[in-house]
Each structure stands twice: as C-alpha cells, then as structure tokens.
Structure 1
Amino acid sequence: MNDSSIALNLLGIIAVLFTGAIIALIITAVVMYFIDVNQSAHTIRRNYPVIGRFRYLFEHLGEFFRQYFFAMDREELPFNRAERAWVYRSAKNVDANVAFGSTRDLSKTGEVMFLNSAFPTLEKDAALPSEVIVGPYCRKPYTTSSIFNISGMSFGALSKPAVRALSAGAAKAGCWLNTGEGGLSPYHLEGGGDVVFQIGTAKYGVRDHEGHLSDERLKHLGEHDQVKMIELKLSQGAKPGKGGILPGEKVSAEIAQIRGIPEGHASISPNGHPDIRSIDDLLDMIEHVREVTGKPVGFKAVIGDKQWLRDLATAIKGRGIDRAPDFITIDSCDGGTGAAPQPLIDYVGLPLKESLPWVCDLLKQHGLKDRIKVIASGKLVTPSKVAWALACGADFTVSARGFMFALGCIQAMQCHKNTCPTGVTTHDPKLQRGLVPADKAQRVAHYQRNMTYGVGLIAHACGVSEPRLLRREHVHVVMATGLSAPLSELHPEPVTLIDDESEVRPEGPDVEVKEVTHDTHA
C-alpha cells in the first residue's frame, strides 16, 4: 500500500469519526431538547431548551472571569485585585514598587491615611518590632516580637500540603501558626515553629469519647514545647453564632482520627460551648485550661453585643488581674471562613474598624490593657491595614486569607467544596499535586517578612522607630464630606477609671461623635 492510499484511508476514518461525532451531538441535543421542554423545575430551560443550559455554565465561570477581565483594580470583593497583587508580589519576593500614582479613591468615606512626619525616622534609628510577653502569670509565658501571624485554619478545612507549607513558612519567618479548631496535626508541628492551639466549641483534639473537654489531652497538649498559647474560640468572623462546618467528603480517616469523629460524616460544631454559658463559666474555663497546661490562654470572639464585655471587665477586676484572660482575639464581620450560611456572612457582627478601638478603650479604662493582649483579625492583608490595627491599640495581628493568597489562592470561592483549583482547601490528590510545600513555605515566609517591612515603612514615615509605637494621632479617616478627621478624635483615648465603677464606660463608636470640620486656614 502506497503513501497516498494510507492517507486516503486515514482521511476516510477521520470523516467517519467526525460524522459519528456530529450524529451523536445531534442525538444528544434532541434528547436534551425533549427533557428540557417537558420538565417544570427550570423556567429558562423550559422556554429555551438546550441553550438555556449554558446559563449555568456562564454563571459558574463568571466569578472566575470577572476578576481577570471585568473588575477594576479596586472594586472587587472580598479582596480586590490591587490587594491580591500586593500579596502575590510580596510572597514571591519580587519588586513591589509601582509607578505614576495611587489608584485609590482618596475621597471615599472610611479610607485611612497616615500622617507623615517632617522628620521621619532615619534608617540608622529604625528598630524591629519590640518583644511582647503574653501570660505573665502562667507557668510558661510566651514572648514574641512578631506583629503579623497566621490565623486559625484547621487541617481539614486546609489540605495537608497547605498546612505543611504554613508550618514551615511560619518557622522561617518567626511568626506563630494557629491550628484552627480542627485539632493539632503532625503537619502543624512539622515545620518546628510556634503554634497556637485553638479549642473550638466541639473541643476537637482535646475531647473525650463523649465530646467533653479532656484534662488528660490538655496535659499532653501542654507538654508540646511548640504549643505556645491556647485560644478558646467563642465565635468566628463570617459566622458568629455558628460552629465550624466541614463537609463529610472532606472528613478523611486521618482527619477523623485527629478530631475524634466518624470518618466521612460532616463535622458540624455546636454554635457555642455547651459548658460556657456565662462570664463566670468563661473565666473558670480559662483558669482551668491555663492551670492544666501552664500556657497562656485567651479567647477569640466576634464583637456584637457589648454589655457582656463591660461585665467581663468588671468580673476580672473582682477576681484579680492574675486571673484575667491572657489575650483577646477580636474577629469581625470582615472575617472569612471555609463554609458558612450567607445570612451570617453578610449581616451579623461588627466590623473591625468599630470593634477594635472600642475593646482597646474598654480594657484601658479598666486598667487591663497591659495585662490582656489584643490580637486583631479581619481582612488585614496589606501593611496599611496592619499599621492601622496597631495604631488602634492591637498588640498583634493575624490573617488567614492573606496567607492563603501566599499559598497560591486565586479567590475562586470554592473553599466549602472539595474543588479548590490551587490545592489549598481540597483533599483531592490531583488538585493537591500543584501545591508544593517546600516552594510555598518560602512564599509564606516572604509574605510575612515583607508585611513587617511594609508596616515598618509606614511607621518610619510617621516618625516612630518601630511599628508598635504607632498611635491614633498618626492616622486620619476620610469622612462623608471628603475631608479627613483624626482617628484620635473619632476614637479618643479614655481615661483609666478604677474606683467609680458606675462611670466606667468606653468612649467609641457606640457613643455619638459629631463630625469634625476643619478651618481651611488651619
């Protein structure tokens, strides 16, 4: 058989296959047509059979295409392209300088700006963030200088390679890694860095067979040198009033063993701690865990109702300052989650810009600010936001989604499914393959270090030697008029009132603040 005959035969085969494919496509379209016109559940498919099905495809792909082709740099939510781009460049440790001018809308209400000093801090006078001691009254206090740390993300919500990368990256950068409520896995410890263990409402990792807190497991936890602090999670940003949710398809045998739950069953935590139903219960639990483990113990909460915090401050002073929580992590409605009901994500809880200064003021009024350290959480992914939080009174900041971006997250919004395309929140081995822990650990470390450097740039421009010296007088906030007002006037620092309990009340967003106007000649 010559070459021309072979070619003709191949063309014939191709023609037959092509014809067969066309016929199969036509048959499929006809079948779909009759299915669509006879079904009653979907109006679009009934009125526009076959082509109406493309609506669902376009709807699914829309959230991916918007961020690349249609959204402006500063308009997308929850994180816009400019914010994500800064994180990506920082994580890759490439040039983060930009040209021409700011693309921010500097007249937008709520925008912050920092007041540069006529005499900025010189490089020779600049200092690294100062050290802070957490838990001075416990047997094993924690001392760290890190201003930016990794917030709670459970093994289960995150994939194994993601946790391994975060663990190694945290050790390289010298920051802590919060375990999230899913228990302590070997991968949290693998990198050798500092770990904050979170106790959620289901007590995963420290529960007995009945689901109650186990002192035996707490003692074992306290023996881990890497575990530096313990955080009781009362509520979480994006879902205050709702416990953790891990779909059954993500509960593998390993995750089930670490959490102490059945494999393949959805892991749904109670919406509150069954054994913490009052302020006294909370303080008793904190004291108990601190006594058993010897480690600093605090709690994490989304701020909504404020009266309970006033009552908490009063109760602490009644018991004694040594029996206070060692820290409070303030989460907010700005926070994120792997899975939550939309009504909670959109409508419950106060934003960090309101809750953070209020809580700091409350603690200061009661003489507790130095004793109880404040950790701020909620969309703090860029230096300006971290610097703002420190200026408001936070001792530390934490981020989850910022470090997810450092791992390669593209904001695909698939966290609650097992289909994350970057391998960060999926347990599909094929998708996890793209996330190489050794490479991503380096990016995690770069991001943390570049964040610290960026906050330092702002601090030095304001004339202070290190980030923890930033104060509210260094910050202005844009008002509805388009003009800015000092943060120190919007949230004035309170006077410490110790003796007259009836007058102890923090100034802040729940107190009416008259809009500040400025004389144009001032």
Structure 2
Amino acid sequence: MDAGIMDTLQNIASAFIEYSALMLLVVLGFGIAYIIYLYICDITQTEHAVRRNYPVIGRFRYLFEHLGEFFRQYFFAMDREELPFNRSQRSWVYRAAKNLDNTIAFGSTRPLNQSNEMLFMNCLFPTLTQDVVPTHAVTIGQDYAKHPYTSSAIFHISGMSYGAISKPAIRALTKGAKEAGIWVNTGEGGLSPYHLEGGCDLVFQIGTAKYGVRNSEGHLSDDKLRDIASHEQVRMFEVKLSQGAKPGKGGILPGGKVTAEVANIRGIPEGKDSISPNGHTDVHCIDDLLDMIHHIRHVTGKPVGFKVVIGFSEWLDEMLEAIHRRGPNYAPDFITIDSADGGTGAAPQGLMDYVGLPIRRSLPLVVDKLNEYNLRERIKVIASGKMINPAEAAWALCVGADFIVSARGFMFALGCIQAMQCNKNTCPTGVTTHNPELQRGLVPADKAKRVKYYALNLMHEVGVIAHSCGVKEARSLQRKHVYLIDERGVPEPLTDRYPDTTPKPEYLIASTADKAS
C-alpha cells in the first residue's frame, strides 16, 4: 500500500482516537456535572426524605419501585402479599398524603372471596351530594368532666412518644393535625415542647412508668398532673394498660434513642434503656383502676379513659358491674381498644405474633358489653390497630366505634418506607431516629401538609363509602351495612355474627323520622 495512504489512515485513526477521547471527557464532564446537579437538587429539596438523606443513590428507590410492579407481575408476589402492610395499603396512604388522585383502573386486586374479608352493602338509592350532612360531633366526658372534649373528626393520631419518634416527626404531626382538626396522642413518653408547638389538640398518655407525671419515687404526682392539664391544648388523659404489639409488656426505648432531652422529659438517665413496668404498680384490680381514673379526672378536670388490648374479657363484666355499684362518675370517659396486630418500635416477637385479640373480634365484644350494661352513651369507644385505609375505618364505625386512631398510617404519611428499623437509631427517613444527619430528610413544614391531606382524604373516602350505603354521614354507618366472607367464601351479614345491640342515637332517630315523613 502506498506510504501516503498509510500516513493518511494513521492520521485519521489518530484524529478519531483523539476526538473519541475528547468526547469521552466531555461526556464524563457532563455526567459529573449532572450528578453534582442531582446531588444539589436532592439535598436542598424537602419533599422526599430518602433523596434528601441519600442524594443521587436514593433516586434508585423510585426506579426500583416503578420496576417492581413489572417484576412482581411475572416473578414475585403481588401488591397485596407484603407484610405487615402490603404495597396496596401503603400506596393508598402515600397518594392520599400527597393529595394525588386515588382512583385505580382495570379492577380490584383484592380477593373478594377470602375468609373474613369485608364487603360494604351499597344502597339502590345512594345519598346524593345535596343530601350529605356534616359528620356528627361526639362529646367525651360530658356531664362528668369539668372540661369535656368534643370532636366531629373520626380519624386521629394514635400514641407515638417523643423518643420513639423524632423531633421533626412530632413537629410535622402536630402542625398537620392542627390544620386537619384532629388530635395527637403524646404516647407514654411525656409532653415535649414540640407537641405544643403545632397548636393541635393533645391526648396525654400515662404509661406504666408515668413519664412526665411521676414524682421522684416514680408514683403519680398530682402537681405534675395539674401542670400538664394547665395547657389548654391537652384535652384528655389516657391511662395505658397495654398496647397491641406487646400486651403484658411495658414500653421499650433502646438506650441509643434516650438522648439528653428525652431523658429530661421522661425523668430517666441519659443513654440507658427505658423499660417501663409491665403494668401500673399501683393498679392491681378493677377498683384500683376506677379509683385512678376518678382521681385523675378530679385533679385535671379533663376526660380520662384507658387503652387496652383485649385478651381474657371477664374483667369487662366485673368493671361494668362495679361502675353500676359505685356510680357513673367512676366510669372511664372512653376506652381505647388496641388490636393484637398493633405496631411498636420494639417488642418481643412472641408477644407481637401470638398474644391478644385482633380488633375484628375485640371491638364488637367491648361495644356489645357496654350496650348490655347500658353504658354505651357514658363510655365512648376509640378503635386502634392497623387501620390505615378508609375501609378499615368505616368498618370500625359500623361496629360501633366513636373514633379511630392510627400511628403507622401517619408514619407512612411522614414518609416511612417500612424499613423495619424503628427499634434502632437508623431510620432512613428520619421518622424514628435521633441521628441529625438522617433527621434532616424529614422537613416538618412539608410533611405537615401530608399529615393534613392524609387525614382529610381518609375521612372523605369513609364518607364516600357511607354515602354509597345510603346514609348521610360516616357516623350513621351500622353493622347492617357490612357483610363478612365466611370460611366457605359466602358473604354473611355482620349482624349474623354480632347482632346490632346499639341503641340509635337521638340524631339517627330524628333522621329516620324525617325520611319516613
């Protein structure tokens, strides 16, 4: 081959290599610049905690989440097979919290013939928009507490202690609750300044260790009770006897989460595990419990109730008989029924998996007992435990609950991704950690909006179910509106299992009379 041609080819090859190298450097430069741009975008945005805490690489979560739909379709489990909350349940909360469209297409993925599944019975003539009425308000402690509490909202925030969840999480919850018109339960960890910042209504929970209202010997302090009750925002007091994930076991807060501030609020040593007694050391029988409730109501002037997981239920008869014997002033103003499948930041697996009754059994049991003893109007009922979607809340109202409370639903609204690290100090979304680097992913101002929208959208959709059933507002739902699938796959009325013994409230009687006329 001619030498000139060879030189030309070599020059072309050399130029191509130089051009390719230059282009590679340009592409790498653009790539690095783009990664820097993404990094800056991620650490400065406030909407997504995972991206804020894990800039750039956190974006892969959303890619994998998107691809997961296709992988699950062909290789893995469907959306409804994850636990403890499946993807379908969580996705509804995420969309509701972001105030996005929550309609779906093509058909339900829910097994409509699976035993114990619920079906609501729609009415031939559903309630029209112009016939809808505001949700009926319920008053707790009326005629018995100096300062009774009234709320028309059906869905509220269950107990989560400062310590178990983070400072920005508390701030977001209380600010969002204020905007949504719902209450926040403080959990057993005491009243922190961050609970008060948001301006929302608060339920102060008294756990077995009596954090925040204990004296130096660990006993209930009347002075501290009065101090807590002096805050107008503190509307009620809840004595926690047991909770869903660990009935018979006190609260557990690992030492790594007991910061100086948490220790000061609780009145315990910094850095050491916070282990509450299994039960109240000053409550050994029904009379002790009723005495405590009566005493706290007398000292604070606020409604007082208790939270419990139902196991053996004979004590219900004993308690209700004692109330009739001693007088209604000794009755609790409310009972919070927690489900055996409730959640917590830390619990022995044996208790979490095997102890206590689920809410599907315990709620109708308690409501029916209160009706049997003619105490249903005196004692209000709050349902708790794994009810994060509208259908569960609507079911609880049908059975007889006055209010529904949720903790994990609002954790999802804050950005929780079910990483299952609540018992550690490593929550990647900043909800249950005191690590400042991880907390910065949770921006209270942004997440407060999600708390608000989640609560409002859930209550709206409960109303949609109610209107489909032909009633004008959510609290008018009754047991006759629900069917349960039996072991043969056949729907049966809930009233077949649990006959509706609930006397109709006056506003329902009036509504029925109006319709008849």
Task: With the length of structure 2 as denominator, give the TM-score of the two structures.
Answer: 0.83
Matched, 1:285 2:292: yes
Equivalence for 2:97: 91
Output the amino acid matched with 2:380: K
Output the amino acid matched with 2:239: L
Mapping 1:217-228, distance limit 5 Å? 217-228=224-235
Partner of 1:74, secondary structure, is helix
Partner of 2:238, secondary structure, is strand
Q: Choose the corresponding residue for 1:148, options 133, 147, 155.
A: 155
Matched, 1:456 2:456: no
Q: Choose the corresponding residue for 2:474, options 453, 467, 470.
A: 467
Equivalence for 1:508: none
Equivalence for 2:56: none
Equivalence for 2:115: 109
More divergent stretch after superposition (68-77 vs 295-304): 68-77
Equivalence for 1:416: 423
Mapping 1:117-156, distance limit 5 Å? 117-136=123-142, 137-156=144-163
Q: CA RMSD in A?
A: 1.9
Equivalence for 1:27: none
- How many Å separate the matches in 1 of 2:308 and 2:435? 32
- How many Å separate the matches in 2 of 1:182 and 1:72? 38
Give the C-alpha shift of residue 464 in structure 1: 0.3
Equivalence for 1:483: 490
Is the 1:478–1:485 contact (alpha carbons within 8 Å) kept by the matching residues of 2? yes
Output the amino acid matched with 1:211: G
Equivalence for 1:38: none
- How many Å separate the matches in 2 of 1:142 and 1:330? 19
Q: Choose the corresponding residue for 1:367, options 365, 370, 374.
A: 374
Identity %: 65
Equivalence for 1:520: none
Equivalence for 2:208: 201
Q: Spell out, residue by residue over 1:84-128, the C-alpha distance to the aligned partner (whole angstroms, 9 max, x if none).
A: 000000000001011111110101001001000011111011122
Q: Displaced runs of 4+ in structure 1, greater than 3 A?
A: 64-71
Residues 67, 303 of structure 1: alpha-carbon distance in 2 compared, 3 angstrom cutoff: farther
Give the C-alpha shift of residue 334 in structure 1: 1.5
Q: Choose the corresponding residue for 2:354, options 330, 347, 353.
A: 347
Output the amino acid matched with 1:229: M
Give the C-alpha shift of residue 486 in structure 1: 0.1
- How many Å separate the matches in 1 of 2:364 and 2:403? 14
Residues 178, 67 of structure 1: alpha-carbon distance in 2 compared, 3 angstrom cutoff: farther
- How many Å separate the matches in 2 of 1:222 and 1:180? 16
- How many Å separate the matches in 2 of 1:427 and 1:153? 15
Give the C-alpha shift of residue 204 in structure 1: 0.2
Is the 1:67–1:76 contact (alpha carbons within 8 Å) kept by the matching residues of 2? no
Mapping 1:122-271, distance limit 5 Å? 122-136=128-142, 137-271=144-278
Partner of 1:161, secondary structure, is helix
Give the C-alpha shift of residue 493 in structure 1: 2.5
Is the 1:132–1:143 contact (alpha carbons within 8 Å) kept by the matching residues of 2? yes
Mapping 1:34-45, distance limit 5 Å? none
Q: Spell out, residue by residue over 1:59-93, the C-alpha distance to the aligned partner (whole angstroms, 9 max, x if none).
A: xx9xx999875431111111000000000000000
Give the C-alpha shift of residue 317 in structure 1: 0.8
Is the 1:332–1:377 contact (alpha carbons within 8 Å) kept by the matching residues of 2? yes
Give the C-alpha shift of residue 495 in structure 1: 8.2
- How many Å separate the matches in 2 of 1:327 and 1:295? 12
Equivalence for 2:398: 391
Equivalence for 2:407: 400
Q: Spell out, residue by residue over 1:369-391, the C-alpha distance to the aligned partner (whole angstroms, 9 max, x if none).
A: 01100000011100000000000
- How many Å separate the matches in 2 of 1:310 and 1:77? 35
Unaligned runs of 5+ in 2: 1-13, 15-60, 504-517
Partner of 2:484, secondary structure, is strand
Count of aligned pairs: 438
Is the 2:368–2:501 contact (alpha carbons within 8 Å) kept by the matching residues of 1? yes
Output the amino acid matched with 1:380: M
- How many Å separate the matches in 2 of 1:407 and 1:493? 37
Q: Spell out, residue by residue over 1:316-362, the C-alpha distance to the aligned partner (whole angstroms, 9 max, x if none).
A: 11111232100000001120000000000000000000000010000
Is the 1:173–1:449 contact (alpha carbons within 8 Å) kept by the matching residues of 2? yes
Partner of 1:336, secondary structure, is coil
Q: Choose the corresponding residue for 1:436, options 432, 437, 443.
A: 443
